[in-house]
Amino acid sequence: MSKAAELANLIGNINAGGGGVNRNLVINGAMNVAQRSTSVTGLGANGTNYSTVDRFYTYANGTAGRFTMTQDSSAPDGFANSLKLDCTTADTSIAAAEQLVLAQVIEGQNLQRIKKGTANALPVAVSFYVKGNASATYMCALVDNDNNRMSTKQFSVTTDWTRITINVPADTTGALDDDNAGSFNLNFYLHAGSNLTGGTYTESTWGASTDANRAVGISSFFDSTDRTFFITGVQLEVGQNPTEFEHKTFGQDLIECQRYYTQETAASGSPYKRYGFGGWNTSTAGEIFIPLSTPMRDSPPTLVSKAAANYQAYSANATDALTAIAINAESNNGTNNRIVGLTFSTSGGGVAGEAVQVTATNDTASYLALDAEL
Amino acid sequence: MAIENAKYIKGDISGENMAINCVWDGQHLSVPIAVGNRHYDEIKKQVDEGKLTIADAD
């Protein structure tokens, strides 16, 4: 895009109520943050799966196809990372209900600037970079979960990085809830059966979110184990014209991601990593607290861990293996909490009232995470 | 997703069920009993469909 065109787009978007700093409504669009893992194999079983790059999940249903998801270093100029899907098991016999979607959900309270469902509703622009192992056609759908509406647009993938730009018109029907629930889904349909392909393709027009119209005319990501799909630079902004991707520092991306998921991970130099501190309530039970640098979207979050025996209570220079660990949902109700409590049990060794830490047990692969994803 | 070994956890102060511990696709989760939490909503769905039983708390 020429500088003149970029400037014209930016001015156009500012005039339409968008533009400027923090214009990108997608979090971690440059795929820089991957707290959970940088590569996970064998994905494709039924259900929602947040596995590598933060905030982006895959949803699979009914397919025998399997894939590896990776934070990959292949990226267009100006980017360091992309999200890569690599088909490892093909599925060429596609049943009606099958689907594979890559998606991000966006909170309604972050979308109020669009003024959707009002007479002053604004258009939005979606943009992203994609490439694959060969030519393919997939579908990008912006889905309004609050009002069961969507706007779809097919896009083409080639073997070179290509920037896709999509203009989504203003929608005066269906206001978005002003809360911390998911109001928009930005969906990329990569594989689908006739339940999602058997309808009518309508390009960039808001209408009812009819299943049969979601993925009309797309290729199948699972048609061959040669198949790959790379994506980065995902942006959703107010305005009629996509502008250049809004890059953020790693720290900014990480903070935004930690509203939804935060993970402490041991490393080679920290096999006894400390996860939190608190006190014993009895000789076999206690509670620790984990201060949060970023209040999470919802509280209490889900605790994600290894089995309890992989952690220990450490107090008065003695250790006791945990027999159970749980989120304390009594003390964290509400939102914007800056501390999360965990309860734990041991077989003994505690002294009521004595301070205690919970640590890893000489385990460089140890981790403890809190999940408030949508 | 595969959810196994689901068990209620009681709060120390209230003495009432506050969370559900389970193994979810091989990961150990402690899920607060809160509608809107995506893990709790899936557990409740599987319980309602008769696919999952939650053991009583100790």
| Per-residue pLDDT tens digits for A245-261 | 999 999 999 999 999 99
- Round to whole Å and give the CA distance between A168 and A127: 11
Q: How confident is the model at residue A299 (pLDDT cuts 50, 70, 90)?
A: confident
Q: Across the interface, do A301 and B32 touch by the CB < 8 Å criterion?
A: yes
d(CA A167, CA A27): 19
Overall average pLDDT of the A31-50 stretch: 97
Residues B10-56: tens digit of each pLDDT: 998 889 999 999 999 989 999 999 999 999 999 999 999 999 999 99
Q: Which residues of chain A have a CB within 8 Å of the CB of B9?
A: 324, 326, 343
Instruction: Give the C-alpha separation, B24 to B42, whole Å.
Output: 11
Chain B interface includes A324 (CB < 8 A): yes
- Where are the CATH 2.60.40 domain residues in chain A? 261-371
- The tokens for B31 are 């899920």
- Of all residues in chain A, what percent carry a pLDDT higher than 70? 97
What confidence score (pLDDT) does residue A240 get?
Answer: 87
Query: Within chain A, which residue ranges are assigned CATH 2.60.120.260?
Result: 3-258
pLDDT for position A334: 60
Cβ within 8 Å of residue A270, ≥6 positions away: A360, A364
Task: Indicate if the pLDDT at residue A14 is higher than 90.
Answer: no
Fold of A3-258: Jelly Rolls (2.60.120)
Residue in B22, B27, B30 to test binding to A, most A beta-carbons within 10 Å: B30
Amino acid at residue number A15: N
Long-range contacts formed by B48-55: CB under 8 A, 24+ apart: B52/B3, B52/B6, B53/B6, B54/B6, B54/B7, B54/B8, B54/B20, B55/B5, B55/B6, B55/B7, B55/B8
pLDDT over 90 percentage in chain A: 89
Question: Are the CB atoms for A325 and B49 separated by under 8 Å?
Answer: no
- Look at residue A5 and tell me whether its pLDDT is greater than 80: no
A332 shares contact with chain B (CB less than 8 Å): yes
Whether the CB-CB separation of A125 and A240 falls below 8 Å is answered with yes
For residues A210-237, average pLDDT: 98
pTM for the model stands at 0.94
What does the radius of gyration of chain A's CA atoms come to, in whole angstroms? 23
Q: What is the CATH number of domain A261-371?
A: 2.60.40
